[in-house]
Every structure is written in structure tokens, then in C-alpha cells.
Amino acid sequence: MQPDSSGRTLAFEAAPEPGSAKPDPILTIHGVSRRFGGLTAVDVEHLEIQRGTITALIGPNGAGKTTLFNIVSAFDEPTTGRWQLDGKELRGRQPYHIARAGMVRTFQLTKSLAKMTCIQNMMLAAPHQRGEGFLSALFGGWRDQEAAVQAKAEELLERFNLIHMRDEYAATLSGGQRKLLEMARSLMTDPEIILLDEPMAGVNPALVQSLLGHIEALRDEGMTVVFIEHDMDVIMGISDWIAVLAEGRVIAEGTPQQVGQNPVVIDAYLGAGFDDSDFEESS
């Protein structure tokens, strides 16, 4: 294991090549394509996500990044292909099945329920709730479950510095706070992997470092994080591994340093005239 240019030591080794094999992939995507009429938005021959890492998915606008997220999280149907989480086939499953299997995602535009409070948003995401059906009401088991769900929701709100907004409507939160709420809510399902779609977009700079700290903490606790981002300072500063998409295809993979020095990436994503020393400075 070799440290990268930022001094981080990678916990795994993989070839810096498109579709490279990983020693312990949690998510494997094979032959996934998505076509809209004559437009091919996604055409991923093979992509593996290493367990317990922060992997950035980057590429120019229209590269297919969000479409790929939508497919693997079952918010869109692929034209071809399949993907597995821990070896379990996920094609054909519903979004809630995939969440229960251990993979959750956030969105570019947050999906908080504006007319519900923060604690209600959190508790709504808890899986396997029995509710107040006849048998639950008769035997009282739902009350114990509700108390446990509420305690977990409050713990996560505390972790994400939102406990003071516990009883405030989600509509009153700032853009950055809504990003924090969505990330906190996604953890109510105890996922193994979380997909973050542009988590820093529209966030006040004062909250960016907080979000980055939470992402690193999730990785340090053993969770796998895959995120889409356009801010190169963020990408180079936090990623363990980067996969680059262009025109729907994976054109490069590697550490931040390797990707930053890849001429294919510079041409396709960053444009002619980009100075790759910017990567090293960001790292």
C-alpha cells in the first residue's frame, strides 16, 4: 500500500484503468446502458466500487453520472445491464428493496418533506415500522419501537448539528441544513453504502467543511461513500479513488494523483490548457 500525493495511505490496491478490478468490491456494475431515443446517456462496461472507501464519480455535465446513480438505486430503468450489491442482483428491484439491501442515496435537489418537522422527516425513514395496527395496539409493541426510532433520529440529528431544529419544519432549513438532514435521514436505515449526488451544491461555504467531515467520518466507520461532485478541491482533498465518466463511459480510474495526471481526463473533463499542477496543489 502506497501513500498518495496527499499523504493518505490507500487501504487497497487496484490498477488505474477503466473498469479495474477491486480486491473487495461492494458494488459491481456490468454492461449497464441507458438510451433515450438515439442518445446514449450511460454505457458502463464494468465498474467496481471498493468497500470502505470514498469514491468520487466525476465528469463533465451530461456525462451520465446522475443517470447511473438513478439506475443503480432503481429510480430509472436501464436499457441493458445488471449490478450487484455484495453479490446480490439488484436489477428489477424497487428503490425500497435496494435501501433495505443496504444502499441508499441522496439527490441534487433535496427531498425533505417541507411541511413535516425535522424529527418527523427522520422517523419516516426508519424501516420495518409496525405502526398502530390492531395487533400492535392490542399488545403495545409499537410504542417501544417508536421510542427506539425516535431515540435514533435524535442521535443522528445531534450528530449532524441539527438537534436544535428538531421541531422546526424542514421548509425553514437553509440549503446546507437540508443537505445535512437528507444525509442524516439516509442513515436511519443503517446502510452499507451511500450515494451522494452533488452534496456540496448550493451549500454555504461555512457548512461545506462540516459536510466533508461527516463524509470522512462515515468512511472511517466502515461505510462506503460514492459521491458526484464538480469542485476539484473537494474531489482531490477527500477522495480515496476517482472514476471518470465522459459521454456515459468510464474513461479513467485511479487515485486523485493518477487521475490528475491522466491526459485523457484532462482532455475530456478539464479541457485543453488545464494545468495538472492544480491537482497536486489541491491534493
Reported confidence tier of residue 8, pLDDT bands at 50, 70, 90: low
CA angle 210, 213, 216 (to 5 degrees): 155
- What is the DSSP secondary structure assignment for residue 164, as one 8-state letter? G
Indicate the average pLDDT of the chain. Answer: 86
Give the pLDDT mean for 136-142: 53
Cell representation of residue 168: 422546526
15 with 22: CB under 8 angstroms?
no
Question: pLDDT for 143-185, tens place per residue?
Answer: 667 888 999 999 999 999 999 999 999 999 988 899 899 999 9
Residue 134: per-residue pLDDT = 46
CA distance 245 to 145: 43
Match domain 1-112+191-283 to its CATH number in 3.40.950.10, 3.40.50.970, 3.20.20.70, 3.40.50.300. 3.40.50.300
Q: What is the pLDDT of residue 130?
A: 56
Across 28-42, average pLDDT = 95
> According to the model, what pLDDT value does residue 112 have?
80
The structural domains of the chain, with segments of one domain joined by +, span 1-112+191-283, 115-172
- Average pLDDT in the 100-125 region? 89
Whole-structure pTM value: 0.85
User: Edge-to-edge, what's the strand order for the sheet holding 88-89?
Assistant: 39-50, 25-36, 80-85, 88-89
Find the DSSP H helices in 77-174. Answer: 95-101, 118-124, 134-139, 141-159
Mean pLDDT for 71-97 is: 95
**Which residues fall within 8 angstroms of residue 89, CB to CB, at 6 or more apart?**
82, 83
Choice between 93 and 11, residue whose per-residue pLDDT is larger: 93
Among 205, 209, 179, CA closest to 118: 179
Identify the CA nearest to 27 among candidates 96, 105, 94, 127: 105
Residue 109 has pLDDT above 90, yes or no: no
Residues 89-106, mean pLDDT to the nearest whole number: 94
Q: Between β-strands 193-197 and 224-228, what pairing exists: parallel, antiparallel or unpaired? A: parallel
